[in-house]
Amino acid sequence: METLLSLSDVSWRHKVRDFSTWKPWAQRDGSGIYSIDLEIKYGTIIGLIGPNGAGKSTLMRAICGLYDCEGFDKSCEDRRTQIGYMPEQVRWEGRTTVRHALESIAMMREDEVDIQSIIQTVGLSSKSEELLDNLSQGMRQRLSLACALFGNPKMLVMDEPLNGLDPLAQRAFSNLLKNLAKKGVAIVISSHQVTDLESLVDEVALLHHGQLLIEGTLNKVRKDLDLEQDSGIVEMICSATGVDPEEISLELSRDNMLPFKNLGGEEE
C-alpha cells in the first residue's frame, strides 16, 4: 500500500519551567518523543498504544503539525490540510450552539464544508441547535469527531476517541472508522487499552518513554515479543523492556525500564 506520511527521526521535547530566583522565566527540556520512525499508509488503521505519559498525544500533535518539528516528508501546512485531528476529551462549553461551533471551525478552512452532512454522519442531528454547555461527554466526543471529518481528510488522528462513548456509540464509531479506512483514509488512533483497539486496528505501534519500541500487526508484535494471544500493554512493555511483569509497581518510570535509548536530561 502506498505511503501517505513518513516519519523519520522525529523528536520533540516539551519545555518545562526551570524556576529559579534569578531566572523565573527559565525553561529546560522535559519529556517528549525521541527519534520516531514510522510509515503511515493509505487505508491503514494504526493503533498507538502505551501507558500514560508514553508520548502518544505528543506524537499525534507532532503528526498534525501542532509542533514545529522536523522529520516529516510533508510540511506542517500540508499536514494540517490533509489530516483531521480529534484531541482527547475536548470540553466544548459555552452558550453557543453545536452548529455555530462547527461553523466557526469550518471557517478556518478554505474548502467548502457540508456541515449538515457531517452533523448527520456523527449522529448530532437532534443536537445541532443545543448549547455546548448542555452536551454530554459522549456528544462532545462526537462534536470533536465532526471537526476531524472536515475537508474529507486523507488521514485521521484520534487521541483516545472511545473515552466517554457508550458501547453502542463505540460500535458505531468503530464501524465508521472501518468504512473510512476502506475508502483509503489512513487512521492513527491511540488508546492505553489494547482490547479497545484489537478488533479495529490493522497495526499497532508501542510507545514507551517517548520511544517507539515496536510496530506491526498485533499478532506480529505479540509473536516478536514471544507473548500469548490475549496479552495486553503491560506484558508488551515488560517484554520489550526486559522487566518481569510480577515485579513492576506503579513506578513505571524506573531507569531499568528504559529500553534502547537514553533521553538525557529527562525530567523525573
Partner 1 sequence: MNAIPLGLHIMKERLTAGRMMVIWPLLAMFILFSSWGLSDPKVNLPSSIVIDSAYDVMFVSTAFIIFSATLGAVLISFDGVSRDRLSGVLEIKLSQPIKRSIYAKALLFGHWSAIFLPVMILNLISLLIIWYRLDDLPSIEEFFIYTLGTGLLLLWYTSIQLLASSWAKDLGSSIAIGLGLWMVFTLLWLVLTTVVAGISGVGVDDLNSTDYIRIDAIMDLFSPNGVYHHLLEMPLDDVNRGMHPAYISLAAILWSIIPVYLFTNRIERIYP
Residues in contact with partner 1 by CB under 8 A are 61, 64-67, 77, 80-81, 83, 85-96, 100, 103-105, 107-110, 144, 147-148, 150-151
Q: Give dist(CA 145, CA 78) in Å, integer.
A: 20
Q: Where are any strands of DSSP class E within 25-99?
A: 27-41, 45-49, 83-86
User: In this complex, which beta carbon is closest to partner 1, that of residue 158 or of residue 213?
Assistant: 158
Q: Helix (H, G, I), strand (E, B), or coil: what is residue 204?
A: strand
User: In this complex, which beta carbon is closest to partner 1, that of residue 89 or of residue 262?
Assistant: 89
Minimum Å gap between C-beta 250 and partner 1 is 26
User: In this complex, which beta carbon is closest to partner 1, that of residue 189 or of residue 238?
Assistant: 189
Residue with cell 462549553: 93
Q: Give dist(CA 211, CA 228) in Å, integer.
A: 23
How many other CB atoms are there within 10 angstroms of residue 82's CB atom?
Answer: 18
Minimum Å gap between C-beta 96 and partner 1 is 6
Q: Give dist(CA 115, CA 206) in Å, integer.
A: 35
CA distances from 106 to 63, 90, 100, 255 (A): 21, 17, 10, 45
Minimum Å gap between C-beta 87 and partner 1 is 4
Minimum Å gap between C-beta 241 and partner 1 is 29
User: In this complex, which beta carbon is closest to partner 1, that of residue 124 or of residue 213?
Assistant: 124
Could you tell me which residues come within 8 angstroms of residue 226 by beta carbon, excluding any fewer than 6 positions away? 239
User: In this complex, which beta carbon is closest to partner 1, that of residue 34 or of residue 150?
Assistant: 150
Residue 256 near residue 208, CB atoms below 8 Å:
no
Minimum Å gap between C-beta 1 and partner 1 is 25
User: In this complex, which beta carbon is closest to partner 1, that of residue 7 or of residue 214?
Assistant: 7
Minimum Å gap between C-beta 77 and partner 1 is 7
How many other CB atoms are there within 10 angstroms of residue 94's CB atom?
Answer: 10
Minimum Å gap between C-beta 33 and partner 1 is 14
Q: How far apart are the first and last CA of the chain?
A: 40
Residue with cell 505519559: 53
Q: Determine the residue type at 216.
A: G
Q: Which of these, 234, 259, 266, lies nearest to 248 by C-alpha position?
A: 234
User: In this complex, which beta carbon is closest to partner 1, that of residue 59 or of residue 206?
Assistant: 59
